[in-house]
Amino acid sequence: MLMFMLEDGLTFMLLELTPQRNLDPTQPAELADRMTDALNAAEFQDTINTFEDRQRDAVVGAAVQYLALDLPPDSLSEYMHGLHMISRSEDLAGRGNAAVHALQLDFVSRKLTDEANGTHATEEAVFNYINTHMVEHGYVYHGFNGTFRESIEEHGLSTTKREWDVQDAEAIHGILKNAGRGNALGWLFINSTDKVFATENMRDLYRYAAGSPEWFNHFSSEGMPNEPLMTNMRT
C-alpha cells in the first residue's frame, strides 16, 4: 500500500493509473518515499508557511505534481520560489494556474536539455515526457485523516469498512431531520457509503484530506443551534 504523509498525520495514497505497465515495482514505492521525505523536510515546511493560508492547498498540490514528474529534488526549493513569485500577483489555483504549468514546463525542459552535448528539449520531447509521467505512467490520489491510517493499512481502502457505525449515523440523521436539520451530516449517505474517490488534482485532495471525514467536517462547520431542537420533533 503506497502512502505518503504530510504534517500532523494527513495521509495520501498513490493509486496507479496503469498498474499493468510492467514498471520496476520499486518505482512507485520510491516515489511515495521521495514525496514523504520532500514534503516533511524542514525547509519545505518553512517555505509553505510563507504562503497565504488560502493558497496552501494549491502550493502542496503543485509540489506533488513537481515530484510526480520526477524532477530533481535538489531543485524543489527553486521551484517553490517560482510558485511564490506567481502567488504575489495571482491566485495559484485561479488565474495563476497557467503560470504554474508554464513553470513546470520550464523545469521539464531544463531536465531534458543537455548543454554539454548541445542538445535542447523540443516541444515534442517535453510533451512526451509529461504524458509519460502524468498519464501513461501516472497516478491518481486518495487522501484521508491520519486517524484512519491504521484501519486502512489493516483492511485496505474499503468501500464498506468505516470507523463509525452507519446505523447510529442513520438514527442521528433521523432525529436531526425531524428537527429541520436534514443536511446536518452533509453527504454522509451519498459520498461516504459504498464509495471510494480518487483524483489527479492534488489541490482538491489536500483540502478533502484536511477536512475528512467530509460529513463530519460539514457537521462541525455548520454547527448546531444552542436552543433545544424541539420543532417537529417526534419520539
Does residue 50 lie within any of the structural domains?
A: yes
Does residue 84 lie within any of the structural domains?
A: yes
- pTM, whole model, 2 decimals? 0.72
The answer to whether 57 touches 207, Cβ cutoff 8 Å, is yes
Q: What is the pLDDT of residues 167-216, one digit of tens each?
A: 787 787 787 777 777 677 766 766 666 777 777 776 677 777 777 777 77
Range 80-97 burial, b when 16+ CB lie within 10 A, else e: bebbbebbeebebbeebb
Measured distance CA(81)–CA(83) in Å, rounded? 5
Does residue 108 lie within any of the structural domains?
A: yes
Count Cβ atoms below 10 Å from residue 220 Cβ, excluding itself: 11
The answer to whether 140 touches 198, Cβ cutoff 8 Å, is yes
Instruction: Write out 99-141 in H/E/C secondary structure.
Output: HHHHHHHHHHHHHHCECCCCECCCHHHHHHHHHHHHHHCCEEE
Does residue 127 lie within any of the structural domains?
A: yes
Residue 72: predicted pLDDT: 87
Total count of domains within the chain: 1
Does residue 221 lie within any of the structural domains?
A: no
Does residue 149 lie within any of the structural domains?
A: no
Residues forming a β-bridge with 4: 12
Q: What is the mean pLDDT of the chain?
A: 76
Does residue 63 lie within any of the structural domains?
A: yes
CA angle 224, 146, 213 (to 5 degrees): 35
Does residue 180 lie within any of the structural domains?
A: no
Q: 117: domain range?
A: 3-141
Q: Which residues of the chain have pLDDT under 70?
A: 1-26, 115-118, 182, 186-187, 189-193, 202-203, 217-235
Count Cβ atoms below 10 Å from residue 15 Cβ, excluding itself: 17
Find the helix packing angle between 56-68 and 97-112, rounded to 10°: 20
Range 141-155 burial, b when 16+ CB lie within 10 A, else e: bbbbbbebbeebeee
Burial (0-12, 13-18, 19+ Cβ within 10 Å), 120: exposed
